[in-house]
Structure 1
């Protein structure tokens, strides 16, 4: 391989850590501890000496504790997370980066720093991330006081939580739509409507999507929840497998209560040779893409993502490949719809023998916050090294099918590596029809999709997306607080496409299945003021 351009970027080291909650919680690892352990394993995997001192960039995936305004870690956090990890492995990088929120961020960082390596802006890059949510929850339950706060000196490029494309607007807050599983529930039921399936048929299909993932997780020693389930076991509602939002029981939802970390070591062909990293460690990135979706109400099809389609097909196009040329996959799997839609985009039949996960997936291997796809890439690297010349696809997803990053990897060299542009693919996303939103909806409408919120297995309320018949504009609405009849009708799962009636309320638009029933819950009109 001596004829490969020395500027060609490569992945040369991978590391992963999964830790149980310790009996002695005073010894519990922090996020930075776990990330550093994964980083040390990535250095060890690369197989050369004195690599830590050669690292000039450490870029970290944002922890969940830093991802949301109200989610600060109760045990404290380093004020410079990337350098806290670097300190633990005796690295002194020139640059430290703390990435934005999203499950797309590990693959997005790979693409970004491959470009910078190729341009000569850096030489040896460590990507890392970790979650210690299992330890945090155990310490909180048992009243164990830990102090993970650290003040670390040095430069930090803190990119903040968002790139400016916000996933939530005031409408979502007004209708109590704030968690990923609610949005995925809305999308899942919209997809069911598009397929024309009843609830029982669709739920069985969701179980069949994820049952093979549990088989992989059972065999993965790094899985946090290594147990095999049948499709029926995944979808049968029990005391331990309660519904959280429709159509999801607990078993098929990503589980963030983990202690997991992963790291990737990136460099160039020339630098790898200089450092003495063996060629059988090298992996090449043949194609990659990054795309973004609109907010929920502005998507033409609520059960699909054009941005996902463009990211997956675009990465294949950049690599000069078709999905049939890919032997190994790691598809993001926070909820069944992501896998189902990706499989549809890629044209992978339900009986295709190729596994769609390398790890076991987020509900079974574990869902370490924004960092899952770094585990997927690390596991894919091991698989590709064992199958030289084969190709693998890693797909990361952020938000609710909102942000998408895809990479095509192989041990087969790139003949002339070039940066990949996603501009043309994003243009395809942006060119879609944009449904208008009605901020004060009134009148007759069609129920496009719904989700029901549950607490301890009991339905609490429902949220819907509807479309007004007179102007075809979209809106959110919820059932009135005491309107159990509307809630029960929606919960049956047969109301998709039904006629509904909506009225505006600044505390959340209300809907029902008849105007007479809706008006029973309208606020009383006060004509005069009482002294």
Structure 2
């Protein structure tokens, strides 16, 4: 998918999120927005780090809290909780990827996320068609995009029940509590099964939980202990002058809306992985690695760039 198509996909997704946030009385910004408004860079919607404008970033400066009461079934009934209000935890699963992102196999998927989602679903013996509530951690569009791509969810199943980090609010570590409480309200309102995904770090720590208004036939069906995944990444070496094939890149923009500094992970001519950055203020090099060039449809990922090393930074000679 080329950068323009990917931006349009993210804009549509977060526009759908904002519609859900508008219906959520607990949202910090309950205003539905159009995909054009969300995806078009402007002084009020500036690019912070590519590829996302400000409206696709999490908003942590919010005053939000959530509380969950978890009891045994016997305790809930003894306390007089109506049967229609009881929500069952079917189970969950966790997985951890390498803390060092350069030690991961790929930047186009999250093996730990896939593992956490698959273990929970497989243990419950259900498929995605049995989910009618899905909430995926949404600090940036990449997280729900990776999850829905892996699960192959229908477009009608929007992967948020809160409205997402950028519209509902991103109160750091408590966001997934809000997702669970919102899912509980949905189930009490008649929905059958909810899958909630939580993320920590740089797509490092993942956990998923399944909730339902009915007991699972097998009771609690999961092992919540996180699996620690192993990887076999390309050998890593210091960057040298020459040609590099771009694995992934992000470009930080200045408040004047210009590419200011690029951060690059690439493969050298021997297939070894290198990580490098351009010097702050080297706008020419940052622009050469930016999605927002004269030809925005041109894919930078997988392209070859020629670099020189200058005082520990790279300068892009050609791309």
More helix by share: 1
* Alignment of 1:341 onto 2:143: no
Q: 2:175 aligns with which of 360, 372, 376?
A: 372
The Cα RMSD (Å) is 2.1
CA separation in 2, counterparts of 1:271 and 1:227?
A: 40
Are the equivalent residues in 2 in contact too, given 1:394–1:406 (CA < 8 A)?
yes
List aligned pairs for 1:125-164, cutoff 5 A. none
Aligned residues: 309
On the 8 A contact 2:260/2:282 being kept in 1, the answer is no
> Unaligned regions of 5+ residues in structure 2, if any?
none
Select the residue among 177, 194, 203 that pairs with 1:392. 194
Cα distance in 2 between the residues matched to 1:482 and 1:225: 34
Q: CA offsets, 1:326-367, max 9 Å, x none?
A: 111111111111111111111113xx3223211111100111
Q: 2:59 is paired with a residue of what secondary structure? A: coil
- 1:458 maps to 258
Structure 1 residues 324, 504: CA separation in 2 closer, same or farther (over 3 Å shift)?
farther
Which among 51, 65, 79 is matched to residue 261 of structure 1? 65
One of 218, 238, 261 as aligned partner of 2:22 = 218
Counterpart of 2:79? 275
1:467 to 255, 263, 267: 267
CA contact (8 A) 1:393 1:408 kept: yes
Q: Find out whether 1:248 has 2:52 as its counterpart.
A: yes
Counterparts of residues 368-517 of structure 1 (less than 5 Å): 368-387=171-190, 390-418=192-220, 420-421=222-223, 426=227, 429-430=229-230, 432-438=231-237, 440-444=238-242, 445-456=244-255, 457-470=257-270, 472-481=271-280, 483-491=282-290, 492=293, 494=298, 495-496=300-301, 497-501=303-307, 503=309, 508-513=312-317
- Distance change in 2, residues 1:347/1:290 (3 Å): same
Q: Name 1:299's counterpart in structure 2.
A: 104
- How far apart, in 2, do the equivalents of 1:419 and 1:511 lie? 54
Correspondence list, 1:15-164, <5 A: none
Q: Larger C-alpha radius of gyration, 1 or 2?
A: 1
> Where does residue 86 of structure 1 map in the other structure?
none
User: Equivalent residue of 1:264, what SS?
Assistant: coil
Contact 1:312/1:345, CA 8 A, preserved across alignment: no
Change (3 A) 1:482 1:332: closer
TM-score for the superposition, normalised by structure 2: 0.90
Shift of 1:286: 1.4
| Counterpart-to-counterpart distance in 2, 1:201 and 1:252 | 16
Deviations 1:217-251 (A, max 9, x none): 11111110111111111011111111111111111
Could you say which residue in structure 2 is the equivalent of 1:237? 41
Looking at structure 1, the residues matched to 223 and 254 of structure 2 have their Cα atoms a distance apart, in angstroms, of 45
Conserved 8 A contact 1:262-1:378: yes
Deviation at 1:318, TM superposition (A): 1.2
Query: In the aligned structure 2, how far is the partner of 1:366 from the partner of 1:268?
Result: 31
TM-score, with length taken from structure 1: 0.55
Once the two structures are superposed, residues 308-334 of structure 1 have per-residue CA deviations (whole angstroms, 9 ceiling, x without a partner) of 111111111111111111111111111
Q: Secondary structure of 2:70's partner?
A: strand
SS at 2:122's partner residue? helix
- State the alpha-carbon separation in 2 of the partners of residues 384 and 355 from structure 1: 16
Closer/same/farther in 2, CA of residues 504 and 279 from structure 1, 3 Å limit: farther
What is the correspondence of 1:182-201 to structure 2 with a 5 Å cutoff?
195=1, 197=2, 199-201=3-5
Q: Distance in 1 between matches of 2:15 and 2:306?
A: 36
User: SS of 1:265's equivalent?
Assistant: coil
Find the residue that maps to 2:38 and give its secondary structure. helix
| Aligned residues of 1:203 and 1:235 also touching (Cα < 8 A) | yes
Counterparts of 2:289 and 2:178, CA distance in 1:
38
CA distance in 2, matches of 1:272, 1:243: 48
2: CA distance, partners of 1:482 / 1:264: 47
**What are the equivalent positions in structure 2 for 1:318-329 lying under 5 Å apart?**
318-329=123-134
Deviation at 1:284, TM superposition (A): 1.1
**Shift of residue 392, structure 1, vs aligned partner:** 0.8
